[in-house]
Homo-oligomer: A and B are copies of this chain.
Amino acid sequence: MPDTKGLVIVNTGNGKGKTTAALGLALRAWGQGLRVLVVQFIKGNWKYGELKAAEKLGPDFVIRQLGEGFVKHAKANANADHQSAAQTALAIARAEIASGGWDLIILDEINYAVKFGLVTVSECLELIGLKSGQMHLVFTGRDARPELIDCADLVTEMRAVKHPYQQGVKAQKGIEF
Interface positions of A (Cβ within 8 A of B): 1-5, 7, 10-13, 15-17, 19-34, 48-54, 56-57, 103-104, 136, 149, 152-164, 167-170, 172-175, 177
Copies in the complex: 2
Supposing A153-B164, A169-B3 touch, asked if A28 and B23 sit within 8 A by C-beta, the answer is: yes
A to B CB contacts below 8 Å, 6 in the list: A1-B168, A4-B172, A24-B25, A27-B50, A29-B175, A32-B173
Whether B24 lies near A48 (C-beta < 8 A) is no
- CA distance in complex: A155, B172 (Å): 16
Choose from B51, B156, B177 the contact partner of A160 (Cβ within 8 Å).
B156
Q: Which residues of B contact A54 (CB under 8 A)?
A: 31
Set of chain B residues within 8 Å of A27, measured between Cβ atoms = 23-24, 26-27, 49-50, 53
Beyond known contacts A4-B169, A156-B161: 18 more, CB 8 A cutoff: A2-B169, A5-B169, A13-B159, A16-B21, A23-B24, A23-B27, A24-B24, A24-B27, A28-B53, A31-B48, A31-B56, A32-B52, A33-B174, A136-B174, A153-B164, A154-B163, A155-B160, A156-B160
| A169 CA to B5 CA, complexed, in Å | 7
Give the chain B neighbours of A12 by CB distance below 8 A: 161
